[in-house]
Structure 1
Amino acid sequence: MDVDIAHLQGWIGREQTESEVLTPTLVRQFNATFDRRSGTAPGEVAPLLIHLCLTQPIAPMSGLGRDGHPALGGFLPPVPLPRRMWAGGAFAFRGSLRIGDEVTRQSTITDVQLKQGRSGTLCFVTVSHEISANGHPVLSERQDIVYRDIPAGGQARAAPPAAPVGQHSRSLTPHPTLLFRYSALTFNGHRIHYDKPFCIETEGYPGLVVHGPMQATMLCQYAADLKGAPPARFRFRSLSPLFDDADFSLNASPEGGGLKLWTARPGGPVAMEAEADWD
């Protein structure tokens, strides 16, 4: 498929600002989804990465594409490739969100690049987010989005090596209700996370796709639990998808003064890799 990269790069520098109050109800819903506990009273520290559930795009039904995403050509560039997924990202924490804060996300498109991968044409869009609470900066985020074509059937590729088991490891079940709840928390209409017939018959996946941001949240929470404190910096990269047809594990091993983390299904390759550092 031809992609007019010069046209798409015209979106570089585009900005968007959204604000939303972090409510006790959202914290309770977030904790219930991840089976965690925390305070829910105004003024208490909110859970790590709950900001991913705030200030998300709100498009009317008439403004959605075939896959449930907002139609192309709004804030994000109109990349003419049918699959859109998180490729990775990074967080630098400067403070904590607290319940009752007015959270503002100022977003800027900083790069658009076209590459050729083993599966065909790839378009990478980089978005920078500055998150503030009541006007005070608390978090910087880089979001890497990848657009790709639906691969055609053909020659099978060599299977990637199986992921190791970390020094610390925890097994999880990607139940469809878990995926649905996280989609609801983030107002994410992408059908690959809750519409199994669409996943299998249209997208060619074996099952529902486990969200990249949800895996990142689980790994970041796991890192904070193991160290007893939230990290100062957290970076992650998606390498292969996880589906709801098998359990998967969170893994962590010490690396320098921080942790190397990853997700994987039993006998499968690394799905998401991450690094967490503390000052």
Structure 2
Amino acid sequence: MIDIDHLRGWIGRTETKSELLTPAIVDRFKATFDQADQAQNGDLAPVMIHLCLAPAAAPTSGLGPDGHPARGGFLPPVPLPRRMWAGGAFTFHDDIRVGETVTRRSTIQDVVVKEGRTGTLCFVTVEHQITSDDRNVLTERQDIVYRGEDAAGPKTAPAPAPHGQHRIQITPSAALLFRYSALTFNGHRIHYDAPYVRDHEGYPGLIVHGPMQATLLVQFAEKLHGMRPSQFDFRSLSPLFDNADFTLNAVEADDGLTLWTAYVDGPIAMEAKAVWL
């Protein structure tokens, strides 16, 4: 039983964290995504690097069996075992530059409980206001979903995703997933501990991070249009594992690009919309 009134007491809570964006951090980010050039102070920072700055730094002794920090603190202590990045939106106002101090002010906007096909779901909405040397550079909405164990029984297989007008293939190697976990200081074992994810979580392989999928799609949109989008909205529909390659897809739309990730011949995993204003 979820005490929603107790959890909604977290609405309005805030947290502020800052980190200096050094050339070394940018170099590690670029190396992870196979971008080889070296960063210098004053350079434009790569889009989406803000997700790797000022992460929560819980002591190792304070981590749960799944590698997540103990429940409570800034986020409400939702009593459901699985947590996912369900979707969100980025509104880009300005660029971050290497050598600037990036600050994230986070606010719990909403906590809602719903009943889904697989049982009880709890959605937590967080707004992040990102500044860089006191300039407003980004507004982010983060949608987090907590859920129980997957329901047993047969499931209807979703339809295969279409092939995009623009399409590239990605290999989700263990090294790539580990490096992104390290960049974001993410201890969640589903992204790097194969025996744990198979034996304890019941998944067929390591799970590809939602934030990394979003980052790859924003990078893809930026490459196709020659500049980062002004607005990027996305939603996660199904997981991707490291047991098969996946694709980044995009089609031109009147107001930008429609994008998605999918296995080479599988269903849509994450869908997104990029707009340039």
| Band of TM-score, shorter chain | over 0.9
> Following TM superposition, by how much is the alpha carbon of 1:37 offset from its aligned partner in structure 2, in angstroms?
4.4
> Following TM superposition, by how much is the alpha carbon of 1:152 offset from its aligned partner in structure 2, in angstroms?
3.6
TM-score when normalising by structure 1: 0.98
Give yes or no for the alignment of 1:46 onto 2:81: no
Q: Is the 8 A contact 2:129 2:139 kept in 1?
A: yes
2:258 equivalent in structure 1:
260
Query: Which residue among 175, 178, 194 is the counterpart of 2:176?
Result: 178
> Following TM superposition, by how much is the alpha carbon of 1:38 offset from its aligned partner in structure 2, in angstroms?
5.0
> Following TM superposition, by how much is the alpha carbon of 1:267 offset from its aligned partner in structure 2, in angstroms?
2.0
Q: Matched residues in 2 for 1:231 and 1:83: separation?
A: 31
2:200 equivalent in structure 1:
202
The one-letter amino acid paired with 2:113 is L
Structure 2: gaps spanning 5 or more residues: none
Q: Residue by residue, what CA displacement relative to the aligned partner does 1:97-121 show, whole Å, maximum 9, x if unpaired?
A: 0000000000000000001111111
> Following TM superposition, by how much is the alpha carbon of 1:151 offset from its aligned partner in structure 2, in angstroms?
1.6
Q: Is the 8 A contact 1:242 1:271 kept in 2?
A: yes
1:153 equivalent in structure 2:
152
Q: Matched residues in 2 for 1:112 and 1:22: separation?
A: 32
Partner-residue secondary structure (3-state), 2:224: helix
Q: Matched residues in 2 for 1:151 and 1:276: separation?
A: 31
Q: Is the 8 A contact 2:168 2:247 kept in 1?
A: yes
Give yes or no for the alignment of 1:14 onto 2:13: yes
Moved over 3 A (4+): none
Q: Matched residues in 2 for 1:150 and 1:232: separation?
A: 37
Q: Matched residues in 2 for 1:152 and 1:41: separation?
A: 50
Q: Is the 8 A contact 2:169 2:264 kept in 1?
A: no
> Following TM superposition, by how much is the alpha carbon of 1:3 offset from its aligned partner in structure 2, in angstroms?
0.9
TM-score when normalising by structure 2: 0.99
Q: CA RMSD in A?
A: 0.8
Identity %: 62
Q: Residue by residue, what CA displacement relative to the aligned partner does 1:133-177 show, whole Å, maximum 9, x if unpaired?
A: 1111100000000000012422x1111100000000000100000
Q: Is the 8 A contact 2:170 2:247 kept in 1?
A: yes
2:248 equivalent in structure 1:
250
> Following TM superposition, by how much is the alpha carbon of 1:266 offset from its aligned partner in structure 2, in angstroms?
2.0
Partner-residue secondary structure (3-state), 2:131: strand
For residues 233 and 38 of structure 1, do their structure 2 counterparts lie closer, same or farther at Cα, with a shift above 3 Å needed? farther
Q: Matched residues in 2 for 1:136 and 1:39: separation?
A: 25
Q: Matched residues in 1 for 2:151 and 2:124: separation?
A: 23
Q: Residue by residue, what CA displacement relative to the aligned partner does 1:29-79 show, whole Å, maximum 9, x if unpaired?
A: 000000124551101100000000001100001211111111101100000
> Following TM superposition, by how much is the alpha carbon of 1:198 offset from its aligned partner in structure 2, in angstroms?
1.0
The one-letter amino acid paired with 2:199 is E
Partner-residue secondary structure (3-state), 2:44: coil
Q: Matched residues in 1 for 2:94 and 2:148: separation?
A: 39
Q: Matched residues in 1 for 2:50 and 2:37: separation?
A: 15
2:109 equivalent in structure 1:
110
The one-letter amino acid paired with 1:138 is V
Q: Is the 8 A contact 1:38 1:47 kept in 2?
A: no
> Following TM superposition, by how much is the alpha carbon of 1:131 offset from its aligned partner in structure 2, in angstroms?
0.2
Partner-residue secondary structure (3-state), 2:110: strand
Q: Matched residues in 2 for 1:227 and 1:214: separation?
A: 20
Q: Is the 8 A contact 1:39 1:45 kept in 2?
A: no
